[in-house]
Chain A
Amino acid sequence: QQQVKQSPQSLIVQKGGISIINCAYENTAFDYFPWYQQFPGKGPALLIAIRPDVSEKKEGRFTISFNKSAKQFSLHIMDSQPGDSATYFCAASAMSSSNTGKLIFGQGTTLQVKP
């Protein structure tokens, strides 16, 4: 119930292509879904987040698609660039029903964008 399952584990995309990372969850109490980007030797950094009252959120080249009925959400990176090469984590939290703000992370996806 507390898990967030992320796929694929690794992804190789050509420069200019679209990178797609998928996540699925079971706990229907989850109501906050952020994505984090981590470069080697650095901590994860918040990239974009969505709440279940919308089905899509776009910020620049990054888009989250959210399917509440399927309990799935995904990150799309348009026009992928070599500088996007990093590890991406989806996460989920039950903001409304929990007073702790605990984030449950997916297993991570290592993205390599080839020039």
Chain B
Amino acid sequence: DTAVSQTPKYLVTQMGNDKSIKCEQNLGHDTMYWYKQDSKKFLKIMFSYNNKELIINETVPNRFSPKSPDKAHLNLHINSLELGDSAVYFCASSQARGTYGYTFGSGTRLTVV
């Protein structure tokens, strides 16, 4: 009965590989987000979808591509991984574009070696 679930929890991969992170929410929320948390714990928004429509696309390398097949799912695909992509990636969801706060997943720790 996890509200926002991300898979995998840990991802270790070599430079140049392509990887995906999946996110699902069962809260009935209409908006989903991807945030990146760096080694200093700073949280920065990457993307947001509202009812499958992309509404936030921050300055992120185009190697990162989000996909939302329906409003309960938001996946993140990363091409040609680089060392600097190592971080914890959090998926979050909200109702009414964040009016009542976000619910975050438990994160995916990506390590690029």
Given known contacts A89-B43, A95-B99, A43 and B55 CB-to-CB distance under 8 angstroms: no
In the complex, the answer to whether B56 meets A100 with C-beta atoms within 8 Å is: yes
For B96, the chain A residues whose CB sits under 8 A away are 101
For B99, the chain A residues whose CB sits under 8 A away are 32, 95, 101
Query: How far does the Cβ of B26 sit from chain A's closest Cβ, in whole Å?
Result: 15
In the complex, the answer to whether B42 meets A45 with C-beta atoms within 8 Å is: no
In the complex, the answer to whether B97 meets A103 with C-beta atoms within 8 Å is: no
User: How long is the Cα–Cα vector from A62 to B65 in the complex, in angstroms?
Assistant: 38
A12 within 8 A of partner (CB): no
Query: How far does the Cβ of B38 sit from chain A's closest Cβ, in whole Å?
Result: 10
User: How long is the Cα–Cα vector from A41 to B37 in the complex, in angstroms?
Assistant: 12
Number of A interface residues at 8 Å Cβ cutoff, please give it: 25
In the complex, the answer to whether A101 meets B48 with C-beta atoms within 8 Å is: yes
In the complex, the answer to whether A101 meets B98 with C-beta atoms within 8 Å is: yes
B34 within 8 A of partner (CB): no
Residue among B50, B92, B102 facing the most chain A CB atoms (10 A cut-off): B102
Shortest Cβ distance from B103 into A: residue: A46
In the complex, the answer to whether B43 meets A101 with C-beta atoms within 8 Å is: no
For B44, the chain A residues whose CB sits under 8 A away are 105
In the complex, the answer to whether A100 meets B106 with C-beta atoms within 8 Å is: no
B69 within 8 A of partner (CB): no
B residues within 8 Å of A by Cβ? 4, 31, 40-45, 48, 50, 55-56, 90, 92, 94, 96-99, 101-107
Other A-B contacts than A32-B99, A101-B96, A101-B98, 20 sampled, CB-CB below 8 A, are: A42-B107, A43-B92, A43-B107, A44-B90, A44-B104, A46-B101, A46-B102, A87-B41, A89-B43, A95-B97, A100-B97, A101-B97, A102-B48, A102-B56, A103-B45, A103-B102, A105-B43, A105-B44, A108-B41, A110-B41
A residues within 8 Å of B by Cβ? 32, 34, 36, 38, 41-46, 49, 87, 89, 93, 95, 99-105, 107-108, 110
